[in-house]
A = this chain, B = another copy of it.
Amino acid sequence: MKEVTGGVCAVRGVRAYGIKEGKNGLAVITGIGSSASAGVFTRNKIIAAPLVVTREHLKSQQLSAIIANSGCANAFTGEQGLSDAAGMAGIAADRLGVPVGLIGVASTGVIGVSLDMGWIKDRIDSVIAGLSDTAEGSTAAARSIMTTDTRPKEFAIELVSGVRIGGIAKGSGMIFPDMATMLAFIYTDADVPYEMLNSCLKRAVDRSFNMIVVDGDTSTSDMVLLTATAEMGIKMKTPDEPGLSEPEFQEGLDCVCIELAKMIARDGEGAEKFIEVRVTDAKTDGDAKLAAKAIVRSPLVKTAVHGEDPNWGRVIAAAGYSGADLDPDRISLAITGVTVVDRGGIVDDAVVDMSGTDIEIAVDLGLGACEAVAWGCDLTAGYVRINADYTS
């Protein structure tokens, strides 16, 4: 497995493009010959209109294209919102000449405001005209879905078998001015059947996008879509035939999802430092996840990292209230590689240098063999400024 350039367009059969005008953007991604598509959606009970439409379209287990806009989330917009989201799909279907039921729709931006359908109609032709299978196409699409993001997010890999997996994502904690949204559109040129695509995506999302925390707020619009174009001409391995094995595909998909998720955490609103929390030797996988996410979410830990203070008490307290099983006499803790607590004992002469931008917190619970990793960022006055100093 190796990293390749080109983002989502590194995948054979994928074309992408997007435009950005001030806060508003429009992107289209197409995957010719798409064999199967799967999606994972927000668990928020308030669900934005595009998610309702895309979830319905995914019942066909196939998406030929995705249309996405930034600047307006089309969330909490009632019947009008559903009609507009379906309309966006219709516009894309019409111009691309594919059935409307094969279009995925995503929106990110202000909530409670209806889409400006005229703006989209006026620009769809130029976006479609720009569709390209080059790295520039991927970057243009990634840039057009940015909101408070400070940089476009794209990543691609090539597996040993030659299969490629690539994607773009956006997300920065919350979107100017209203709402956190995490979107990721991932493609592979392998020919992966729907059921496998779906189960691999759920596992990968659990290990990546579900393990990042910027502020603990769950958006109404979070969505990850994965489409297999089958353009590589490689089938899944069978007992009789060589091909792509499920573990190889899962490993590659995990890698792409984790890299995109880390880009989102690193670009958290106001973030100056990136935090990786690794919990090992937990009794269960669930315990490891609970502890890792509680630590990376803790405002105390986030402000301590910001202040470059190796404040291990805050880390241990967060593990303590996470719900994970733990024993104070067995816990060990290292910050950026320096052990500060060793099996419950405080290491008095530990010297921790937290001046770097990447801070690693490693917690060994000493109770089992399960582990989890979570990613986040520090909490800064910049975060408060971005989210408080705007008045609607």
Q: Does B46 contact A112, Cβ atoms closer than 8 Å?
A: no
Residue A380 interfacial (CB < 8 Å): yes
Q: Does B46 contact A317, Cβ atoms closer than 8 Å?
A: yes
Q: Does A313 contact B217, Cβ atoms closer than 8 Å?
A: no
Q: Does A310 contact B392, Cβ atoms closer than 8 Å?
A: yes
Residue A238 interfacial (CB < 8 Å): no
Q: A384 contacts which of B43, B180, B326, B381 (Cβ < 8 Å)?
A: B381
Complex Cα–Cα for A46 and B75 (A): 41
Residues from chain B with a CB closer than 8 A to the CB of A317 are: 44, 46, 111, 179-180, 217-220
Q: Measured between C-beta atoms, what is the minimum distance from A76 to chain B in Å?
A: 6
Q: Does A216 contact B299, Cβ atoms closer than 8 Å?
A: yes
Q: Does A387 contact B303, Cβ atoms closer than 8 Å?
A: yes
Residues from chain B with a CB closer than 8 A to the CB of A312 are: 112
Residue A328 interfacial (CB < 8 Å): yes
| 30 CB < 8 A contacts A-B | A44-B317, A46-B316, A46-B317, A46-B319, A46-B326, A75-B313, A110-B313, A112-B312, A177-B311, A178-B313, A178-B314, A179-B314, A215-B300, A217-B300, A217-B318, A218-B321, A219-B317, A220-B317, A299-B387, A303-B383, A303-B388, A304-B388, A306-B384, A308-B391, A309-B388, A309-B390, A311-B392, A379-B388, A383-B384, A384-B384
Q: Measured between C-beta atoms, what is the minimum distance from A110 to chain B in Å?
A: 8
Complex Cα–Cα for A312 and B113 (A): 12
Complex Cα–Cα for A211 and B252 (A): 44
Q: Does A316 contact B76, Cβ atoms closer than 8 Å?
A: yes
Residue A95 interfacial (CB < 8 Å): no
Residues A76 and B321 in contact in the complex (CB < 8 Å), given A217-B298, A388-B306, A391-B307: no
Q: Does B76 contact A174, Cβ atoms closer than 8 Å?
A: no
Q: Tell me the residues in window 74-116 of chain A with beta carbons closer than 8 Å to chain B beta carbons.
A: 75-76, 78, 110-112
Residue A2 interfacial (CB < 8 Å): no
Residue A389 interfacial (CB < 8 Å): yes
Residues A381 and B392 in contact in the complex (CB < 8 Å), given A215-B300, A311-B177, A313-B75: no
Complex Cα–Cα for A344 and B75 (A): 12
Number of A positions contacting B (CB below 8 A):
63
Complex Cα–Cα for A180 and B310 (A): 17
Q: Does A303 contact B217, Cβ atoms closer than 8 Å?
A: no
Q: Does A304 contact B46, Cβ atoms closer than 8 Å?
A: no
Q: Measured between C-beta atoms, what is the minimum distance from A225 to chain B in Å?
A: 21
* 1/0 contact string of A160-193 vs chain B (CB within 8 Å): 0000000000000010011110000000000000
Residues from chain B with a CB closer than 8 A to the CB of A324 are: 45
Q: A45 contacts which of B307, B321, B387 (Cβ < 8 Å)?
A: B321
Interface centre among A317, A320, A325 (most CB of B within 10 A): A317
Q: A300 contacts which of B43, B76, B174, B379 (Cβ < 8 Å)?
A: B174
Residue A121 interfacial (CB < 8 Å): no
Complex Cα–Cα for A324 and B45 (A): 9
Complex Cα–Cα for A46 and B363 (A): 14
Interface centre among A110, A316, A318, A325 (most CB of B within 10 A): A316
Residues A303 and B384 in contact in the complex (CB < 8 Å), given A216-B216, A316-B46, A320-B45: yes
Residues from chain B with a CB closer than 8 A to the CB of A217 are: 298-300, 314, 317-318, 321
* 1/0 contact string of A367-392 vs chain B (CB within 8 Å): 00000000000111101110111111
Q: Does B309 contact A44, Cβ atoms closer than 8 Å?
A: no
